[in-house]
Amino acid sequence: MKSVRVDSHEDPVEITTNARVLDAVLAAREKLLMACGGKGLCATCHVYVTEGAERLSPMTPRERMSLPMLADRRPNSRLACQAKVLGNGVKVELPRGRFIDAASDLDKLIGRRAEEPILHPVTGAVLIEAGKLITRSRIKELSFVDVDIAEMKTRSLSMEMNPKIVR
Ligand code: FES
């Protein structure tokens, strides 16, 4: 077993050696979009590794292909579904404001100012900047997010069925 610290959770979660970072994130009851179902094709399971990066499996070809598409990637970015935990002491953080499944998820925030940037769930681009008022019309404008998610799921499915596209 290996212990992994996830985001602001005080207690580490225990996962089996060689399990994915994704398994630790889910064990911590954090929500990830996982548009491709954990196949390394969509980058919606993006995390930042803040400690113990050397105790993870090396970056996979799918990560090298998917990570450059993200606007919010950093040198310590990994895909949670691809990185496997080989040793203790790994800590990951989730990109802030990223995990919306659909534009309608933001309905509950209408009338408030965004406390942190709200990011596109697929690309990581900023949709609403921190401090900006979230209005009904702004949410309506963001309906393209739902189309982007649906397209990503379709693209992931076709890449999976045609693996020669992925090197
Ligand atoms: S869930 Fe799609 S890349 Fe990890």
Residue segments in the chain with a per-residue pLDDT below the cut of 50: 167
Cα 36 to ligand 1 centroid, rounded to whole Å: 5
pLDDT at 35: 86
The ligand 1 atom nearest the CA atom of 41: 3
pLDDT at 167: 45
The ligand 1 atom nearest the CA atom of 22: 4
pLDDT at 163: 63
Cα 44 to ligand 1 centroid, rounded to whole Å: 5
Question: Does 35 sit in the ligand 1 pocket, CB within 6 Å?
Answer: yes
Question: Does 40 sit in the ligand 1 pocket, CB within 6 Å?
Answer: yes
The domains found in the chain, sorted by start residue, are 2-93 (3.10.20.30), 103-165 (no CATH)
Q: By C-alpha distance, which of 33, 41, 35, 37 is closest to 159? A: 41
